[in-house]
Amino acid sequence: MNAQDEYLQLKNHWRDKILSSYYVVVGIVFLAELVLFLYMYILTDAFHYNPVKYVFLYVIIPTSINLISVGCAQFIQKYSESELVKKYAVVCSLLIICTVICTIHSFFLISSAAFVAPIVVSCILDDEKVTKMSGIASAILLVVTSFLPPIFDDAWKPSQRWYNVIAGLVLLLVVYYICQSLCSYTKEKNEIIFQTSLTQERMHNAIRMDAMTGLFNHSEFYHCLEAGIRWCHDNDKTISVVVIDVDFFKSVNDTYGHDKGDIVLIKIAEILKSQCSERAKAFRYGGEEFGMILYDYTQELTFDLIENIRQMIYQEKFSFMPDRHCSISAGIYQYNGEDMSSEEVFEKADKAMYQAKQNGRNRTVCADI
Protein backbone atom coordinates (compact mmCIF):
# COMPACT_ATOMS: atom_id res chain seq x y z
CA MET A 1 0.00 0.00 0.00
CA ASN A 2 1.45 3.40 -0.98
CA ALA A 3 1.43 6.62 1.06
CA GLN A 4 -1.61 8.08 -0.71
CA ASP A 5 -3.68 4.94 -0.11
CA GLU A 6 -2.65 4.91 3.55
CA TYR A 7 -3.68 8.57 3.88
CA LEU A 8 -7.11 7.89 2.36
CA GLN A 9 -7.54 4.86 4.58
CA LEU A 10 -6.66 6.97 7.62
CA LYS A 11 -9.26 9.60 6.69
CA ASN A 12 -11.93 6.92 6.19
CA HIS A 13 -11.01 5.39 9.55
CA TRP A 14 -11.42 8.69 11.40
CA ARG A 15 -14.67 9.53 9.67
CA ASP A 16 -15.96 6.15 10.87
CA LYS A 17 -14.78 6.92 14.40
CA ILE A 18 -16.46 10.34 14.35
CA LEU A 19 -19.75 8.79 13.19
CA SER A 20 -19.46 6.14 15.90
CA SER A 21 -19.01 8.91 18.47
CA TYR A 22 -22.29 10.43 17.25
CA TYR A 23 -24.10 7.33 18.52
CA VAL A 24 -22.57 7.98 21.93
CA VAL A 25 -23.78 11.58 21.78
CA VAL A 26 -27.28 10.45 20.76
CA GLY A 27 -27.27 7.92 23.60
CA ILE A 28 -26.22 10.54 26.17
CA VAL A 29 -28.90 12.97 24.96
CA PHE A 30 -31.50 10.19 25.10
CA LEU A 31 -30.57 9.31 28.69
CA ALA A 32 -30.58 13.00 29.67
CA GLU A 33 -34.05 13.43 28.18
CA LEU A 34 -35.28 10.33 29.99
CA VAL A 35 -33.78 11.39 33.32
CA LEU A 36 -35.24 14.87 32.93
CA PHE A 37 -38.68 13.41 32.25
CA LEU A 38 -38.52 11.10 35.27
CA TYR A 39 -37.30 13.93 37.49
CA MET A 40 -40.13 16.25 36.46
CA TYR A 41 -42.76 13.53 36.52
CA ILE A 42 -41.84 11.90 39.85
CA LEU A 43 -40.06 14.51 41.95
CA THR A 44 -41.68 17.83 40.99
CA ASP A 45 -45.19 19.23 40.86
CA ALA A 46 -44.51 21.32 37.76
CA PHE A 47 -45.23 18.59 35.25
CA HIS A 48 -48.43 19.43 33.35
CA TYR A 49 -48.05 17.26 30.24
CA ASN A 50 -49.54 13.94 29.23
CA PRO A 51 -46.65 11.54 30.07
CA VAL A 52 -47.09 9.44 26.94
CA LYS A 53 -47.29 12.49 24.69
CA TYR A 54 -44.27 14.05 26.39
CA VAL A 55 -42.12 10.93 25.98
CA PHE A 56 -43.19 10.58 22.36
CA LEU A 57 -42.59 14.27 21.53
CA TYR A 58 -39.45 14.96 23.56
CA VAL A 59 -37.72 11.58 23.75
CA ILE A 60 -38.74 9.13 21.02
CA ILE A 61 -39.07 11.46 18.02
CA PRO A 62 -35.81 13.43 18.64
CA THR A 63 -33.83 10.25 19.25
CA SER A 64 -35.27 8.64 16.12
CA ILE A 65 -34.36 11.66 13.98
CA ASN A 66 -30.83 11.66 15.39
CA LEU A 67 -30.34 7.94 14.77
CA ILE A 68 -31.66 8.19 11.21
CA SER A 69 -29.30 11.10 10.44
CA VAL A 70 -26.27 9.16 11.69
CA GLY A 71 -27.37 6.03 9.84
CA CYS A 72 -27.71 7.97 6.57
CA ALA A 73 -24.25 9.47 7.06
CA GLN A 74 -22.80 6.00 7.61
CA PHE A 75 -24.53 4.75 4.45
CA ILE A 76 -23.02 7.61 2.44
CA GLN A 77 -19.64 6.97 4.01
CA LYS A 78 -19.79 3.34 2.93
CA TYR A 79 -21.12 3.65 -0.61
CA SER A 80 -20.21 7.12 -1.89
CA GLU A 81 -17.06 7.46 -3.99
CA SER A 82 -16.75 11.22 -3.42
CA GLU A 83 -14.50 12.34 -0.55
CA LEU A 84 -16.28 15.71 -0.42
CA VAL A 85 -19.73 14.12 -0.16
CA LYS A 86 -18.50 11.92 2.69
CA LYS A 87 -17.22 14.97 4.57
CA TYR A 88 -20.47 16.87 4.07
CA ALA A 89 -22.43 13.85 5.29
CA VAL A 90 -20.44 13.72 8.53
CA VAL A 91 -20.98 17.43 9.22
CA CYS A 92 -24.66 17.52 8.14
CA SER A 93 -25.47 14.62 10.42
CA LEU A 94 -24.12 16.55 13.40
CA LEU A 95 -25.94 19.71 12.29
CA ILE A 96 -29.21 17.75 12.40
CA ILE A 97 -28.42 16.44 15.90
CA CYS A 98 -27.64 19.97 17.12
CA THR A 99 -30.82 21.34 15.51
CA VAL A 100 -32.92 18.70 17.25
CA ILE A 101 -31.29 19.37 20.62
CA CYS A 102 -31.69 23.17 20.37
CA THR A 103 -35.29 22.93 19.14
CA ILE A 104 -36.56 20.43 21.68
CA HIS A 105 -34.62 21.81 24.64
CA SER A 106 -34.87 25.53 23.93
CA PHE A 107 -35.59 26.16 27.62
CA PHE A 108 -31.84 25.81 28.13
CA LEU A 109 -30.54 28.75 26.12
CA ILE A 110 -27.00 27.42 26.47
CA SER A 111 -28.01 24.52 24.19
CA SER A 112 -27.41 26.82 21.19
CA ALA A 113 -23.68 26.50 21.94
CA ALA A 114 -23.99 22.98 20.51
CA PHE A 115 -23.60 24.48 17.03
CA VAL A 116 -19.93 24.94 17.78
CA ALA A 117 -19.52 21.16 17.41
CA PRO A 118 -20.10 20.92 13.60
CA ILE A 119 -17.48 23.63 13.01
CA VAL A 120 -14.94 21.81 15.17
CA VAL A 121 -15.65 18.48 13.45
CA SER A 122 -15.28 20.09 10.01
CA CYS A 123 -11.87 21.36 11.14
CA ILE A 124 -10.85 17.79 12.01
CA LEU A 125 -11.81 16.77 8.45
CA ASP A 126 -9.12 19.12 7.05
CA ASP A 127 -11.26 20.89 4.47
CA GLU A 128 -11.68 24.68 4.44
CA LYS A 129 -14.74 24.46 2.16
CA VAL A 130 -16.51 22.10 4.55
CA THR A 131 -15.57 24.33 7.49
CA LYS A 132 -17.03 27.36 5.69
CA MET A 133 -20.24 25.46 4.94
CA SER A 134 -20.57 24.26 8.54
CA GLY A 135 -19.97 27.80 9.86
CA ILE A 136 -22.69 29.32 7.66
CA ALA A 137 -25.14 26.46 8.31
CA SER A 138 -24.52 26.59 12.08
CA ALA A 139 -25.18 30.34 12.16
CA ILE A 140 -28.42 30.01 10.19
CA LEU A 141 -29.68 27.08 12.26
CA LEU A 142 -28.78 28.84 15.52
CA VAL A 143 -31.05 31.76 14.54
CA VAL A 144 -33.83 29.47 13.34
CA THR A 145 -33.78 27.24 16.43
CA SER A 146 -33.76 30.27 18.72
CA PHE A 147 -37.18 31.41 17.48
CA LEU A 148 -38.75 28.12 16.41
CA PRO A 149 -38.96 26.66 19.96
CA PRO A 150 -41.91 28.85 21.13
CA ILE A 151 -43.95 26.19 19.37
CA PHE A 152 -42.91 23.96 22.28
CA ASP A 153 -42.58 26.47 25.10
CA ASP A 154 -42.64 30.22 25.78
CA ALA A 155 -40.28 30.30 28.73
CA TRP A 156 -38.18 33.14 27.31
CA LYS A 157 -39.13 36.50 25.90
CA PRO A 158 -38.15 37.40 22.30
CA SER A 159 -35.68 40.00 23.59
CA GLN A 160 -33.97 37.36 25.71
CA ARG A 161 -33.77 35.06 22.72
CA TRP A 162 -32.20 37.87 20.66
CA TYR A 163 -29.53 38.32 23.30
CA ASN A 164 -28.89 34.58 23.09
CA VAL A 165 -28.69 34.73 19.29
CA ILE A 166 -26.16 37.58 19.32
CA ALA A 167 -24.01 35.88 21.95
CA GLY A 168 -24.23 32.58 20.07
CA LEU A 169 -23.25 34.14 16.74
CA VAL A 170 -20.24 35.86 18.31
CA LEU A 171 -19.16 32.51 19.78
CA LEU A 172 -19.60 30.77 16.41
CA LEU A 173 -17.64 33.51 14.63
CA VAL A 174 -14.71 33.19 17.04
CA VAL A 175 -14.67 29.40 16.78
CA TYR A 176 -15.03 29.56 12.99
CA TYR A 177 -11.99 31.76 12.47
CA ILE A 178 -9.92 29.69 14.88
CA CYS A 179 -10.91 26.50 13.02
CA GLN A 180 -10.19 28.07 9.62
CA SER A 181 -6.68 28.93 10.82
CA LEU A 182 -6.25 25.39 12.15
CA CYS A 183 -7.44 23.99 8.81
CA SER A 184 -4.83 26.01 6.93
CA TYR A 185 -2.12 24.95 9.34
CA THR A 186 -3.14 21.28 9.24
CA LYS A 187 -3.36 21.34 5.44
CA GLU A 188 0.19 22.66 5.10
CA LYS A 189 1.50 20.28 7.74
CA ASN A 190 -0.18 17.26 6.13
CA GLU A 191 1.18 18.24 2.71
CA ILE A 192 4.72 18.32 4.11
CA ILE A 193 4.23 14.96 5.84
CA PHE A 194 2.63 13.46 2.74
CA GLN A 195 5.41 14.62 0.43
CA THR A 196 8.03 13.36 2.87
CA SER A 197 6.28 10.00 2.98
CA LEU A 198 6.18 9.85 -0.83
CA THR A 199 9.90 10.63 -0.99
CA GLN A 200 10.68 7.89 1.53
CA GLU A 201 8.49 5.48 -0.42
CA ARG A 202 10.30 6.30 -3.66
CA MET A 203 13.67 5.83 -1.95
CA HIS A 204 12.52 2.52 -0.50
CA ASN A 205 11.33 1.35 -3.92
CA ALA A 206 14.58 2.50 -5.50
CA ILE A 207 16.48 0.27 -3.09
CA ARG A 208 14.22 -2.69 -3.88
CA MET A 209 13.84 -2.25 -7.64
CA ASP A 210 16.05 -2.69 -10.67
CA ALA A 211 16.04 0.71 -12.40
CA MET A 212 16.24 -0.57 -15.96
CA THR A 213 13.64 -3.35 -15.96
CA GLY A 214 11.35 -2.23 -13.12
CA LEU A 215 11.57 -5.69 -11.54
CA PHE A 216 12.54 -6.39 -7.94
CA ASN A 217 16.32 -6.67 -7.57
CA HIS A 218 18.79 -9.23 -6.21
CA SER A 219 18.54 -8.20 -2.55
CA GLU A 220 14.75 -8.12 -2.68
CA PHE A 221 14.79 -11.62 -4.18
CA TYR A 222 16.53 -13.01 -1.10
CA HIS A 223 14.35 -10.95 1.22
CA CYS A 224 11.21 -12.40 -0.39
CA LEU A 225 12.70 -15.89 -0.54
CA GLU A 226 13.44 -15.88 3.21
CA ALA A 227 9.96 -14.53 3.92
CA GLY A 228 8.52 -17.21 1.64
CA ILE A 229 10.36 -19.96 3.49
CA ARG A 230 8.95 -18.71 6.80
CA TRP A 231 5.50 -18.51 5.21
CA CYS A 232 5.78 -22.16 4.15
CA HIS A 233 6.67 -23.23 7.68
CA ASP A 234 3.92 -21.18 9.32
CA ASN A 235 1.13 -22.17 6.92
CA ASP A 236 2.21 -25.62 5.72
CA LYS A 237 2.38 -24.31 2.13
CA THR A 238 4.83 -24.53 -0.73
CA ILE A 239 6.65 -22.04 -2.93
CA SER A 240 8.14 -22.49 -6.38
CA VAL A 241 11.53 -20.87 -6.95
CA VAL A 242 12.49 -20.25 -10.56
CA VAL A 243 15.85 -19.20 -12.01
CA ILE A 244 15.87 -17.96 -15.62
CA ASP A 245 18.92 -17.22 -17.77
CA VAL A 246 18.94 -15.69 -21.27
CA ASP A 247 20.69 -18.04 -23.73
CA PHE A 248 23.75 -16.70 -25.56
CA PHE A 249 23.16 -13.22 -24.20
CA LYS A 250 26.86 -12.32 -24.45
CA SER A 251 26.59 -12.94 -28.17
CA VAL A 252 23.69 -10.48 -28.38
CA ASN A 253 25.76 -7.79 -26.66
CA ASP A 254 28.86 -8.50 -28.75
CA THR A 255 26.96 -8.60 -32.06
CA TYR A 256 24.36 -5.86 -31.67
CA GLY A 257 25.68 -3.74 -28.81
CA HIS A 258 24.85 -3.39 -25.15
CA ASP A 259 22.02 -0.94 -25.83
CA LYS A 260 20.27 -3.63 -27.90
CA GLY A 261 20.97 -6.15 -25.16
CA ASP A 262 19.20 -3.83 -22.73
CA ILE A 263 16.17 -3.79 -25.04
CA VAL A 264 16.06 -7.59 -24.88
CA LEU A 265 16.25 -7.58 -21.07
CA ILE A 266 13.52 -4.94 -20.78
CA LYS A 267 11.23 -6.94 -23.08
CA ILE A 268 11.80 -10.14 -21.11
CA ALA A 269 11.02 -8.22 -17.91
CA GLU A 270 7.76 -6.97 -19.44
CA ILE A 271 6.75 -10.53 -20.33
CA LEU A 272 7.58 -11.74 -16.82
CA LYS A 273 5.53 -8.94 -15.25
CA SER A 274 2.60 -9.65 -17.56
CA GLN A 275 2.47 -13.23 -16.30
CA CYS A 276 2.72 -12.40 -12.59
CA SER A 277 -0.34 -12.60 -10.37
CA GLU A 278 -0.85 -11.67 -6.72
CA ARG A 279 0.85 -14.96 -5.84
CA ALA A 280 3.85 -14.51 -8.12
CA LYS A 281 6.79 -12.08 -8.08
CA ALA A 282 9.48 -11.55 -10.71
CA PHE A 283 13.05 -10.36 -10.11
CA ARG A 284 16.12 -9.39 -12.04
CA TYR A 285 18.69 -11.45 -10.19
CA GLY A 286 21.62 -9.90 -12.03
CA GLY A 287 22.93 -9.42 -15.57
CA GLU A 288 20.87 -11.60 -17.87
CA GLU A 289 19.58 -13.76 -15.01
CA PHE A 290 16.02 -13.47 -13.68
CA GLY A 291 14.12 -15.13 -10.88
CA MET A 292 10.56 -15.80 -9.84
CA ILE A 293 8.90 -16.82 -6.59
CA LEU A 294 5.43 -18.33 -6.83
CA TYR A 295 3.38 -18.82 -3.68
CA ASP A 296 1.23 -21.92 -3.26
CA TYR A 297 1.77 -23.07 -6.87
CA THR A 298 2.09 -26.75 -7.63
CA GLN A 299 5.14 -27.84 -9.59
CA GLU A 300 2.89 -28.65 -12.57
CA LEU A 301 1.31 -25.17 -12.59
CA THR A 302 4.71 -23.56 -12.24
CA PHE A 303 6.12 -25.61 -15.11
CA ASP A 304 3.18 -24.67 -17.35
CA LEU A 305 3.59 -20.97 -16.50
CA ILE A 306 7.35 -20.93 -17.16
CA GLU A 307 6.91 -22.86 -20.40
CA ASN A 308 4.37 -20.28 -21.53
CA ILE A 309 6.82 -17.50 -20.68
CA ARG A 310 9.63 -19.31 -22.50
CA GLN A 311 7.52 -19.64 -25.65
CA MET A 312 6.42 -15.99 -25.49
CA ILE A 313 10.04 -14.88 -25.29
CA TYR A 314 11.08 -17.20 -28.13
CA GLN A 315 8.29 -15.87 -30.34
CA GLU A 316 9.18 -12.24 -29.67
CA LYS A 317 10.73 -10.52 -32.69
CA PHE A 318 13.40 -7.85 -32.37
CA SER A 319 13.92 -5.58 -35.37
CA PHE A 320 17.67 -5.40 -34.89
CA MET A 321 18.06 -9.20 -35.13
CA PRO A 322 15.34 -10.36 -37.55
CA ASP A 323 16.96 -13.72 -38.24
CA ARG A 324 17.55 -14.67 -34.64
CA HIS A 325 15.32 -15.81 -31.78
CA CYS A 326 15.86 -14.95 -28.14
CA SER A 327 15.51 -17.93 -25.81
CA ILE A 328 15.79 -18.69 -22.10
CA SER A 329 16.72 -21.67 -19.97
CA ALA A 330 14.81 -22.06 -16.71
CA GLY A 331 15.16 -24.16 -13.58
CA ILE A 332 12.40 -24.80 -11.05
CA TYR A 333 12.70 -25.96 -7.46
CA GLN A 334 9.56 -26.77 -5.50
CA TYR A 335 10.21 -25.92 -1.84
CA ASN A 336 8.02 -27.94 0.52
CA GLY A 337 9.27 -26.75 3.90
CA GLU A 338 12.55 -28.65 4.10
CA ASP A 339 15.18 -27.47 6.58
CA MET A 340 17.16 -25.38 4.11
CA SER A 341 18.56 -21.86 3.93
CA SER A 342 17.49 -19.41 1.22
CA GLU A 343 20.90 -19.87 -0.46
CA GLU A 344 20.40 -23.63 -0.58
CA VAL A 345 16.92 -23.24 -2.06
CA PHE A 346 18.26 -20.90 -4.73
CA GLU A 347 21.11 -23.30 -5.49
CA LYS A 348 18.62 -26.09 -6.19
CA ALA A 349 16.77 -23.97 -8.75
CA ASP A 350 20.07 -22.67 -10.17
CA LYS A 351 21.36 -26.20 -10.74
CA ALA A 352 18.13 -27.09 -12.53
CA MET A 353 18.65 -24.07 -14.77
CA TYR A 354 22.20 -25.18 -15.63
CA GLN A 355 20.83 -28.64 -16.37
CA ALA A 356 18.50 -26.99 -18.88
CA LYS A 357 21.55 -25.33 -20.43
CA GLN A 358 23.38 -28.65 -20.66
CA ASN A 359 20.35 -30.35 -22.20
CA GLY A 360 20.35 -27.97 -25.16
CA ARG A 361 19.00 -24.64 -23.81
CA ASN A 362 15.60 -23.09 -24.58
CA ARG A 363 13.88 -25.41 -22.14
CA THR A 364 12.58 -25.71 -18.56
CA VAL A 365 13.85 -28.27 -16.05
CA CYS A 366 12.39 -29.13 -12.65
CA ALA A 367 14.87 -30.00 -9.90
CA ASP A 368 14.55 -33.37 -8.22
CA ILE A 369 12.74 -33.07 -4.90
On whether residue 212 sits in a domain, the answer given is: no
Last residue in a domain, options 171, 200, 229:
200
What SS3 state is found at 341? Answer: coil
pLDDT at 359 over 90: yes
pLDDT (tens digit, 9 = 90+) per residue, 241-265? 999 999 999 999 999 999 999 999 9
pTM given for the model: 0.53
Find the mean pLDDT for residues 323-331: 94
In a domain, 208, yes or no: no
Task: Determine whether 22 is exposed, middle or buried from the number of CB atoms within 10 Å of its CB (0-12, 13-18, 19+).
Answer: buried
Average pLDDT of the segment spanning 314-324: 91
Instruction: Let me know if residue 262 belongs to a domain.
Output: yes
164 in the same domain as 82: yes
- The answer as to whether 311 is a domain residue is yes
Specify whether 184 is located in the same domain as 237: no
Structural domains counted in the chain: 2
Does 127 have pLDDT greater than 70?
A: yes
Residues 6+ apart with CB under 8 A from 137: 91, 92, 95, 118
Q: Kindly report the CATH number assigned to the domain that includes residue 314.
A: 3.30.70.270
β-pairing, 328-335 vs 289-295, is: unpaired
Whose CA is closest to 244, among 132, 338, 327? 327
Average pLDDT value over all residues in the chain: 86
- Please give the pLDDT value at position 59: 86
Note the pLDDT of residue 58.
81
Question: How many CA atoms are closer than 13 Å to the CA of 103, on its beta-carbon side?
Answer: 19
Beta bridge mates, 244: 290, 330
Query: Do residues 10 and 159 both lie within one domain?
Result: yes
283 Cβ neighbours under 8 A, 6+ residues apart: 210, 215, 216, 217, 218, 220, 221, 224, 290, 291, 292, 293
Do 29 and 91 lie in one domain? The reply is yes
Q: Is residue 62 part of a domain?
A: yes
Q: Please check whether residue 48 lies inside any domain of the structure.
A: yes
| Residue 290 and residue 169 share a domain | no
How far apart CA 43 and CA 40 sit, in angstroms, is 6
pLDDT at 109: 59
Is residue 2 predicted with pLDDT exceeding 70? no
The answer on pLDDT for 149 being more than 90 is: no
Residue 213 lies in a domain: no
Task: Let me know whether 247 and 330 are in one domain.
Answer: yes
- The domain of 282 spans 218-366
Residue 330 has pLDDT above 60, yes or no: yes
Do 63 and 170 have their domain in common?
Answer: yes
Question: What's the one-letter identity of residue 149?
Answer: P
Identify whether the C-beta of residue 93 lies closer than 8 Å to the C-beta of residue 70: yes
Task: State whether 153 and 298 are in the same domain.
Answer: no
Using the CB atoms, write b or e for 93-121: b if 16+ within 10 Å.
bbbbbbbbbbbbbbeebebbbbbbbbbbb
| pLDDT tens figures, 200-219 | 777 766 678 888 999 999 99
Residues 104 and 223 in one domain: no
Q: What percent of the chain has pLDDT over 90?
A: 50
pLDDT at 346: 95
pLDDT in tens, 90-114: 999 999 999 888 887 766 656 778 8
Confidence class for position 367, pLDDT limits 50, 70, 90: very high
328-335 vs 364-366, strand pairing mode: parallel
Same domain, 173 and 242: no
Whether 267 has a pLDDT exceeding 90, the answer reads yes
User: Which of these, 280, 285, 318, 308, lies nearest to 213 by C-alpha position?
Assistant: 285
Report yes or no on 304 lying in a domain.
Answer: yes
Whether the predicted pLDDT of 1 surpasses 80: no
